[in-house]
Structure 1
Amino acid sequence: MRKSSYHVPTGGLPPQTQITTTRAVFTEAYAVMPKGVMSDIVTSNLPFWERTRAWVLARPMSGFSETFSHYLVEVSAGGGSNKPELNPKAQGVIFVVGGEVALTIAGAEHSLSAGGYAYIPAGTAWTLHNQSGEPASFHWIRKAYEAVEGIDAPDAFVTSDAAHDPIAMPDTEGRWATTRFVDPADMRHDMHVNIVTFEPGGVIPFPETHVMEHGLYVLEGKAIYLLNKDWVEVEAGDYMWLRAFCPQACYAAGPGRFRYLLYKDVNRHMPL
């Protein structure tokens, strides 16, 4: 697998001379948050996190997303938390895009650098600190775990993007592939956080229309993405938020690979 580069936000503010028009849009079916709107003034502080700021990219909202939240977190040198998760029902995925963090899960210590991935089950004690001299950035995706009687809860694990070979989608000659960190047949898991890769010219050749909610953060490259009935140009650092059943397709139109971190809810009955 070729070495990957991941977009790391820098914050800041645009100059007063910059025009206001951007690609940012929020519709009844999807939202696009371009990297340019992720400035200093839209960050949030989180309880019991020190020297840390977060861009909240997705949160449960009535009539839109129902299942997850997605933070893009920046921890300055010496920052972090001994009490990061306050909801005992919340499971989480950490994916590091820049710098290095020290992650402790149920007493086991791990060092994660760019490409590092961790799954943290609901109710598990964990801490995260930046012990380096440089800022560290990571994605933190949270979902309330839906327990099913007769199915065990999943275990914690730590891995990396580089440790998994992308699996090509059928009949695509490798142009469209998915890096899966969890076996899709493992019914213990009710969410998947994968990385999708398109080689230049790769496509999703039909409008996918399905029950899964999606959060897509573009890690690398650029593409044209179909969202509902609109074709939208996206690039590294952009975020897309798709409501259930929102049609989607993709054409990787850039000169290099197009990669994004993808959340979706899976393996459970629909609540009635």
Structure 2
Amino acid sequence: MTKSSYYAPHGGLPPQTQLLTDRAMFTEAYAVIPKGTYSDIVASLLPFWDDARFWVLSRPLSGFAETFSQYIAEVQPGGGSDRPETEAGVEAVLFVVEGAMTLTIDGTAHEMDEGGYAFLPPQAKWSLRNTGSAPVRFHWIRKQYQAVEGLDAPDAFVTNENDVTPTPMPDTDGAWATSRFVDPNDLRHDMHVTIVTFQPGGVIPFAETHVMEHGLYVLEGKAVYRLNQDWVEVEAGDYMWLRAFCPQACYAGGPGPFRYLLYKDVNRHMTLGNAGV
């Protein structure tokens, strides 16, 4: 496939003349964080990172995201971290939307540029550095790994979207396809981060209602997205969070492809705790 463009925020601050009316929504079933939200004043700093800032799109919060957190990171030339993850047992996916960086995993360096995708298992020792002359911007999705007795943790790997062939959904004639970076049948993985692409006119033709929690970042294009009982217009740079069982559907109106980075939790029993024991 040819190299795609990805929306990446650059910060800044809206002028005092801008109207306050916006598309941001936070409900019990879903949230929409539009691209205009990524201003300088809502960026966060993190320990052990140099010349870097982060827009937090989702975090574990009662009534909101339960299984994961997702950031957009911006690292200036020379910046990065030798101790990026400070919590034990956390796995991660990195996806580069602008610029280039060097990711080192267990002593091996990997050069990543736009479209670069890395999976980092909980046991991986990793660091990251922007060795270029321009800022690098990437998604960082974090999840506490749910180990299962008898299953090894998955291995680290680095690839690029351009090296992955999208899989068309059945009976869609290619109008709806998913770029999968891990084998769906590999039960070692307890989360999938994929890229979903709809061609103009492509649809999710029913209201999907299922147990997986979702985070969707629109990489390219625009569409109307069904969230619970509402149809919401979304475009490149917007982020959606969907609670488990929130009905969802999509219509991609064009004029170009509509594409998003999708997180979902998979392949694990529902935790029941010690009730009744």
Same fold? TM cut 0.5: yes
Partner of 2:145: 145
Within 1, Cα distance between the matches of 2:68 and 2:234?
22
Within 1, Cα distance between the matches of 2:56 and 2:8?
15
The two structures have a TM-score, normalised by structure 2, of 0.97
The aligned amino acid for 1:265 is D
Deviation track 1:187-212 (CA, whole Å, cap 9, x = no partner) reads: 00000000000000000000000000
Partner SS state of residue 41, structure 2: helix
Partner of 1:182: 182
For 1:1-272, list aligned pairs within 5 A: 1-272=1-272
**1:237 Cα offset (Å):** 0.3
Aligned-residue Cα RMSD (Å) equals 0.6
Within 1, Cα distance between the matches of 2:170 and 2:183?
17
Partner SS state of residue 41, structure 1: helix
**1:225 Cα offset (Å):** 0.2
Structure 2 residue runs without a partner (length 5+): 273-277
* Kept after mapping to 1: 8 A contact 2:93/2:119: yes
Partner SS state of residue 189, structure 2: coil
**1:3 Cα offset (Å):** 2.5
Partner SS state of residue 36, structure 2: helix
Runs of 4+ in 1 over 2 A off after TM superposition: none
Aligned identity (percent) is 69
Within 1, Cα distance between the matches of 2:102 and 2:26?
36
Partner SS state of residue 77, structure 1: strand
Deviation track 1:23-52 (CA, whole Å, cap 9, x = no partner) reads: 000000000000001100000001100000
The aligned amino acid for 2:124 is T
**1:64 Cα offset (Å):** 2.4
Partner SS state of residue 63, structure 1: coil
Within 1, Cα distance between the matches of 2:264 and 2:144?
13
Within 2, Cα distance between the matches of 1:64 and 1:22?
20
Within 1, Cα distance between the matches of 2:139 and 2:253?
26
**1:66 Cα offset (Å):** 1.0
Deviation track 1:139-190 (CA, whole Å, cap 9, x = no partner) reads: 0000000000011110000001000011000000000000000110000000
Deviation track 1:96-121 (CA, whole Å, cap 9, x = no partner) reads: 00000100001110000000000000
Within 2, Cα distance between the matches of 1:152 and 1:10?
39
The aligned amino acid for 2:131 is Q
**1:2 Cα offset (Å):** 3.2
The aligned amino acid for 2:262 is L
Deviation track 1:216-259 (CA, whole Å, cap 9, x = no partner) reads: 00000000000000000000000000000000000001200000
Partner of 2:275: none
Structure 1 residue runs without a partner (length 5+): none
Partner SS state of residue 215, structure 1: strand
The two structures have a TM-score, normalised by structure 1, of 0.99
**1:62 Cα offset (Å):** 1.3
**1:87 Cα offset (Å):** 1.1
